[in-house]
């Protein structure tokens, strides 16, 4: 009797456990998919259908933001900032906020270095992306994940 | 009129890259928040910022509801000659607020 009961129980456990696993793994996957879609849409709106390469852009945010209402964000781009080669525009976009565009900067060779800072609102934990458009038309991106403890928009 | 705070060096050597910081007191109300009765608070945001160096644009930004209240911006420029740095914000209704500082280049 014992030998029959044991495999029966473990099979049930396996089934329950397995369903749970599927539910857990499917949740962030679906969310990640929606995040990517929002980033894609924002990029298309701002820069059109041009190839985007990862690199040259560094976005710095605290790894954990206690307050989503004001997250210090610094973006720098590896660029000589000369007349021939400089950053034209720099956009920060969010995969989770109700409005994907956070802020857009217009720079030029007179800036000397491409390094800007601001404070942004974040509606939850997410990986914020910065896209730089160079004077030659190429697009470069960088992203940074931040854990938001208290999200903007959710609370009054 | 909103309180504006600018941080910029008073003097610089020619060709030096200076950091400019600008902050304006503004609610930058996103339009997504609800008041105590559950009614959305209307959006009230600054949408545009420009910085002029001797009347020439050196930096600009488009602001969205995702920018925190009391928008803060920090950026750089190369000091070329003595002149005025003007910082101007424009809100969603076209109203603008500005302040300027003098930069001596020698």
DSSP code string of A18-60: HHHHHHHHHHHHHHHHHHHHHHHHHHHHHH-S--EEE-SEEEE
Indicate whether this complex's ipTM tops 0.90.
Answer: yes
Q: Specify the higher pLDDT residue, B68 or A21.
A: B68
Tell me: pLDDT of A1 over 50: no
* The two three-digit tokens of residue B48, written as one number: 């545009």
Whose tokens are 């709106």? That residue is A45
A111 touches chain B (CB under 8 A): yes
What are the DSSP E strand ranges found in chain A? 52-54, 57-60, 64-67, 71-77, 87-93, 101-106, 114-120, 126-134, 139-150
Residue A32's pLDDT is 76
The least confident of A8-12, B4-8, B42-46 is A8-12
The structure tokens listed for A83 are 């007349």
Torsion angle, alpha carbons of A82, A84, A90, A95, to 10: -130
The pLDDT tens digits of the residues spanning A5-56 come to 455 555 555 555 555 444 444 445 567 788 889 999 999 999 999 999 999 9
Residue A136 pLDDT > 60: yes
Tell me the pLDDT band of A151, cut-offs 50, 70 and 90: confident
Contact at CB, B66 and A102, closer than 8 angstroms: yes
Query: CA end-to-end span of chain A, whole Å?
Result: 60
A110 touches chain B (CB under 8 A): yes
Contact (CB<8Å) B66/A107? no
Q: What is the pLDDT of residue A23?
A: 47
Whole-prediction pTM: 0.83
Mean pLDDT of B31-58: 93
Query: Rounded mean pLDDT of A73-99?
Result: 94
Measured in whole angstroms, the distance separating CA B26 from the mean position of its chain's CA atoms is 11
Query: With an 8 Å Cβ cutoff, are B64 and A101 in contact?
Result: yes
What is d(CA A123, CA B66) in angstroms, rounded to the nearest whole number? 9
With a CB-CB cutoff of 8 Å, which residues 75-104 of chain B face chain A? 75-78, 80
Subunit contact A102:B67, Cβ cutoff 8 A: yes
Chain A residues closer than 8 Å to B62 by CB = 101, 103-104
Residue A154 has pLDDT above 50, yes or no: yes
H/E stretch holding B95: none
Contact list in A for residue B65 (CB cut-off 8 A) is 98-99, 121
């Amino acid at each position: 009797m014992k030998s029959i009961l044991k495999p029966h129980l473990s099979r049930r456990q396996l089934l329950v456990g397995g369903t749970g696993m599927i539910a857990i793994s499917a949740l962030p996957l679906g969310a990640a998919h929606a995040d990517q879609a929002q980033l894609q849409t924002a990029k298309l709106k701002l820069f059109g259908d041009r190839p985007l390469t990862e690199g040259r852009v560094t976005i710095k945010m605290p790894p954990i933001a206690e307050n989503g209402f004001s997250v210090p964000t610094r973006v720098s781009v590896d660029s000589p900032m000369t007349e021939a080669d400089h950053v034209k525009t720099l956009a920060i976009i969010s995969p989770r906020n109700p409005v994907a565009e956070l802020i857009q900067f217009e720079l030029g060779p007179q800036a000397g270095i491409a390094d800007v800072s601001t404070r942004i609102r974040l509606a939850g934990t997410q990986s914020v992306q910065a896209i730089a458009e160079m004077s030659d038309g190429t697009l470069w991106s960088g992203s940074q994940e931040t854990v938001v403890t208290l999200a903007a928009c959710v609370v009054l | 009129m909103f309180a504006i705070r600018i941080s910029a060096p008073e003097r610089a050597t020619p060709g030096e890259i200076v950091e400019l910081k600008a902050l304006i007191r503004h609610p930058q109300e996103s339009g997504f928040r609800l008041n105590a009765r559950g009614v959305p608070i209307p959006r009230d945001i600054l949408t545009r910022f420009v910085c002029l160096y001797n009347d020439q644009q050196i930096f600009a930004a488009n602001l969205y509801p995702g920018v925190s209240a009391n928008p803060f911006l920090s950026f750089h420029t190369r000091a070329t000659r003595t002149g005025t740095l003007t910082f101007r914000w424009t809100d969603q209704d076209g109203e603008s607020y500005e302040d300027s500082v003098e930069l001596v280049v020698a």
